[in-house]
Structure 1
Amino acid sequence: MYNPTVARLTYRALLGRRRALILFLLPGMLLLIAAAVRAFNGADDQVAADVLGGFALATMVPLIGVIAGTGAIGPEIDDGSIVYLLSKPVKRPTIIFTKLIVAIAVTMVFSAVPTLIAGFILNGNGQQVAVAYTVAALVASIAYSAMFLLLGTVSRHAVVIGLVYALVWEALFGSLIAGARTLSVQQWALALAQKVTGDGLVTSEVGLTTAVTLLVAVTVAATWFAGQKLRKLTLAGEE
């Protein structure tokens, strides 16, 4: 199910000069914010949770997910270069699975790792805040990558749609409308973070069982639909 050649090509596309600049910019901003907050406020568990929840999980993780998920396949479909990959003797579900693994890996490295570092800068993992938000970033990376990979296969406007979901649905509606929180990857991830801290420092509007179920369901469903969409792409001369 995993193809090293497809993985290498996908890593090369995602870590090209333009995307790499954006991928490094967001974690860099998080670390600068963390350092500044620590310098002015000292170590504080609640402040650390606010920064990690408000910027890292609510903004940085979904944006990196958009970049990695859509960038793993969207540009190839848009410019037609996907036909060269499809013409190779590689099963199409293998292509999708490999690209998903790459997107997840890139999202995790550029979101979960900086989140952990920022957490230790802010308060040295007091009350396990750094670890809790790192766990949340890791699980959110999986769901975001699958969702945005699917978007990359079904729409030429995948980046725009992904940004609308990340910045409007999750950040705006998710904070104002109770029902929207149930359909929020961020809230699902926070449910796991809440379990790690075990106190009121991190809270989620979604129960742990529901959150895990939805995370798995969305990831599996998005991956399956992306594979089905790729199956329907035909090459010249194919029946």
Structure 2
Amino acid sequence: MYDPTVARLTYRALLGRRRAAILFVLPALLLVIAAAVRMFAGADDQVAANVLGGFAIATMVPLIGVIAGTGAIGPEIDDGSIVYLLAKPVKRPTIIFTKLIVAIAVTMVFSALPTLLAGLILNGNGQQIAVAYTIAALVASIAYSSLFLLLGTVSRHAVVIGLVYALVWEALFGSLVPGARTLSVQQWSLAVAEKVAGQGMVTSDVGLPLATILLAAVTVAATWYAGQKLRALKLAGEE
């Protein structure tokens, strides 16, 4: 189910000079914010939770997920170069699974690791805040990568749609409309983190059992459907 050649090509595409520069911007900004907040406000648990929840989980993780998830396959479909990959003796679900693993790995590295470092800077992991939000970033990375990889296979406007979801649905509606929070990857990931952090430091509107089911269901369903869409692509000469 995992092809090293596909993985190598996908890593090369995602970590090219232009895309890698974009991937570094948000983590760097988070670390700068964390350092500034620690300098001016000191080690405050609630402030640390607010920074990590408000910027890292609500903004940085989904945006990096958009870049990695859509970038893992979208550009190849858009410019037609995907046909060279499909012509190789590699099963199409294997291509999707491999690209998903790469997208997840990239999203985790560029979101979870900076979240942990920022948490340590902010309050030295007091109340387990740094670890809790890092777990939230790791869990969210999986779901976002699968969702945005699917978008990359079904739409030429995957980046725009992904940005609308991340910035409008997750960040805006997810924070203002209670009912929308149930359908938010952000809230699902926070439900997992809530069990790790000190009381009241991380909160979610979704219970852990439901959040776990939804995270697994979305990841599996999105990956399966992306595989089906790629299978439906026809090469020249195919019936």
TM-score class normalised by the smaller sequence: over 0.9
Structure 1 residue 197: deviation in Å?
1.1
Tell me the residue number matched to 1:210: 210
Structure 1 residue 238: deviation in Å?
0.3
Tell me the residue number matched to 1:231: 231
Where do 5+ consecutive residues of structure 2 fail to align? Answer: none
Q: Write the letter of the residue equivalent to 2:147.
A: M
Structure 1 residue 201: deviation in Å?
1.2
For the Cα contact (< 8 Å) 2:129–2:198, is it kept in 1? no
Tell me the residue number matched to 2:183: 183
CA distance in 2, matches of 1:85, 1:202: 43
CA distance in 1, matches of 2:124, 2:37: 13
Tell me the residue number matched to 2:62: 62
CA distance in 1, matches of 2:104, 2:18: 19
**Post-superposition CA distance 1:60-82 (Å, at most 9, x none):** 00000000000000000000000
Q: What does 1:3-82 align with in structure 2 at a 5 Å threshold?
A: 3-82=3-82
Q: Write the letter of the residue equivalent to 1:220.
A: V
Tell me the residue number matched to 1:200: 200
1:86 matched to 2:94? The reply is no
Moved over 3 A (4+): none
Structure 1 residue 58: deviation in Å?
0.3
Tell me the residue number matched to 1:167: 167
TM-score by length of 2: 1.00
CA distance in 2, matches of 1:170, 1:178: 12
Q: Write the letter of the residue equivalent to 2:217.
A: A
Give secondary structure in 1 for the equivalent of 2:196: helix
Tell me the residue number matched to 1:222: 222
Cα-Cα RMSD: 0.4
CA distance in 2, matches of 1:97, 1:198: 36
Structure 1 residue 196: deviation in Å?
0.5
Where do 5+ consecutive residues of structure 1 fail to align? Answer: none
Q: Write the letter of the residue equivalent to 2:109.
A: V
CA distance in 1, matches of 2:201, 2:115: 17
CA distance in 1, matches of 2:158, 2:37: 34
CA distance in 2, matches of 1:200, 1:44: 14
CA distance in 1, matches of 2:54, 2:178: 17
For the Cα contact (< 8 Å) 2:128–2:198, is it kept in 1? no
**Percent identity for Structure 1 against Structure 2:** 85
TM-score by length of 1: 1.00
